[in-house]
Amino acid sequence: MPRYYTEEHEWIDVDGDVATVGITDFAQGQLGDIVFVEVPDTGAELSQGGDAAVVESVKAASDVYAPVDGTVTEGNSQLEEDPALVNSDPEGEGWFFRLALSDKSQLDGLMDAKAYKAFCDAL
Amino acid sequence: MTETEQLDDDVAIEAATEVLPLDAWHRAKGGRMVEFAGYWMPIQYEGIMAEHLWVRENAGLFDVSHMGQLALSGDKVAEALETLVPGDISALKPGRMRYSLLLDEDGGILDDLMITNEGDQFGIVVNGAVKWEDIGHLRENLPDDITLNHNEDYGLLALQGPKAVDALARLVPEAASLVFMQAARATWNGHAIGLSRSGYTGEDGFEISLPNEALTDFADALCAMDEVKPIGLGARDSLRLEAGLPLYGHDLDPTIDPVEGDLAFAISKRRREEGGFPGAARILGHLADGSPRKRVGLLVDGKLPVRGGAKLFDGNTEIGVVTSGGFAPSVGAPIAMGYVPTGLSEPGTAVAAEVRGKRVACTVAAMPFVPHNYVRKTGA
């Protein structure tokens, strides 16, 4: 299952026409202790680069953007009870939402793991 | 992912960000440095939540060297200061300190500050973000025969938490003999230092003023102790919020007077009777008849943090604004403070905050949110 990354520190796992989106380990480390996550409603139409979710750390609220266009099929309801999952397992149990992809060609513009690592190292 | 709100959101970056004497020390300790009040300062080391809880149980070392350390000397300094602040400075005995407010001519708050009678002079500690404005205001409004010294050769550290006294007394035994809001001079490793039992966390603790060249060794000596860890600005903010202490520039500004700011305790009895401080007419009127609005604490329903800038509603009517807020680690829930009409300021009053278009239920709450643990008697 290929995983892509954005310059806004989201990751996206693609499985056929459905993708799972979360924030990277680098991002959670920058945010610090996460106390609240607002995931999009099922059925929400997201467009690439638009607001998709909000993550609140102790110190600040941060927007999470949609890495690609799509329709939300599921938000991670576990984050409501346990937002700290984003700290403890950001690229696994701490996923944010799933969406049905509208335009798979948009994935071509994203980074792979190696490119993302190089991107973070340069920050 | 982009931060939409930052701790330093209202700090105008007019000049190059300055470096504090302990800059390298913070970086070596893993501090994540951010711009605050014109300086690079550590927002956190291991994490805000852990640092916050550490201070409530142990002792945390804060570098607050960005704050302005001023000294006023000359004839009748107390009387002169009383023309600018509403506290009874004349009654302040040597070795005692008092929280006070620098007021503009309309009674609006220019800054909140600590004034200490150091015997031969009055020491004043002011907020870093407005220290240059404060210095200008003092120079302009105090008589020419009063000398104002801005002590930039000294840094300021705060050691806060229930174990602060034990830790500090190992280095400076005099610390243990002070009580809350007392100050003394002492010597450490040949350096002249100033101590006060005070702080900004609601916990027992001290602020220590010492020469820049002694800061690193002193910080190392404290952090070598098991009960002491360095603590960043993030936890300083969440600790003071739980303690109900306002942050200048967020919860207080020149549009707000001391009664509105729920700081009427800083207007001493004699001054209420005599007046003679800036904005006395407005402030004494608000004391007598109530102010139109008041700073209150807010307990937030649910988990969504309500932060500074959120509008407050009573039904469909906009009634006020949140001035600071966030997750409170010791409360285990979001809390906030803000301004509401005095008629809606009683604890228990239900209001709503607006966050990203949604209404969040809040209840006006008495402050502090976490009890203060000040030591008012030694041996207690």
Tens place of pLDDT per residue across chain B (380 aa): 555 444 444 444 456 899 999 999 999 999 999 999 999 999 999 999 999 999 999 999 999 999 999 999 999 999 999 999 999 999 999 999 999 999 999 999 999 999 999 999 999 999 999 999 999 999 999 999 999 999 999 999 999 999 999 999 999 999 999 999 999 999 999 999 999 999 999 999 999 999 999 999 999 999 999 999 999 999 999 999 999 999 999 999 999 999 999 999 999 999 999 999 999 999 999 999 999 999 999 999 999 999 999 999 999 999 999 999 999 999 999 999 999 999 999 999 999 999 999 999 999 999 999 999 999 987 54
Reported as a single tens digit per residue, the pLDDT across B151-199 is 999 999 999 999 999 999 999 999 999 999 999 999 999 999 999 999 9
Contact criterion met (CB < 8 Å) for A35 and B238: no
Q: Where are the beta strands (DSSP E) in B80-211?
A: 97-103, 109-117, 122-126, 147-150, 154-160, 183-188, 191-196, 205-211
- For residue B291 the two structure tokens come to 């102010």
- Distance of residue A113 Cα from the nearest chain B Cα, in angstroms: 17
**Whole-prediction pTM value?**
0.93
Contact of B6 with chain A, judged by CB distance below 8 Å, is answered with yes
Contact of B356 with chain A, judged by CB distance below 8 Å, is answered with yes
**Most distant CA pair in chain B, distance:** 63
Contact of B21 with chain A, judged by CB distance below 8 Å, is answered with no
A38 contacts B303 by C-beta, under 8 angstroms: no
| CA quadruple B284, B287, B291, B295: dihedral sign | positive
Contact criterion met (CB < 8 Å) for B334 and A23: no
B232 contacts B22 by C-beta, under 8 angstroms: no
Name the residue of chain A whose CA is nearest to B49's CA: A33
Chain-centroid distance, C-alpha B18? 21
**Below-50 pLDDT ranges, chain A:** none
| Residue B336 backbone dihedrals phi, psi, to 5 degrees | -155, 165
Measure CB to CB from residue B47 to each of A32, A60, A83 and give the nearest one: A32
Which residue shows structure tokens 């913070």?
A: B26
Name the residue of chain A whose CA is nearest to B329's CA: A58
**Alpha-carbon gap, residue B208 to B185, rounded angstroms:** 10
Residue type, B63: D
- For residue A21 the two structure tokens come to 């989106």
**Which residues in chain B have their CB less than 8 angstroms from residue A80's CB?**
303
pLDDT of residue B9: 46
Contact criterion met (CB < 8 Å) for A61 and B303: no
**H-helix or E-strand containing A113?**
helix A113-121
Contact criterion met (CB < 8 Å) for A59 and B329: no
**Alpha-carbon gap, residue B188 to B65, rounded angstroms:** 18
B300 contacts B355 by C-beta, under 8 angstroms: no
Which residues make Cβ contacts (< 8 Å) with residue B26, sequence separation at least 6?
B20, B33, B41, B42, B63, B230
- For residue B180 the two structure tokens come to 């809350």
Q: Which residues of B320-341 are buried (b: 16+ CB within 10 A; e: fewer)?
A: bbbbbbbbbbbbebbbbbbbbb
Angle at B112 (CA atoms; ends B311, B274), nearest 5 degrees: 110
Interface of B with A in 120-159 (CB under 8 A): none
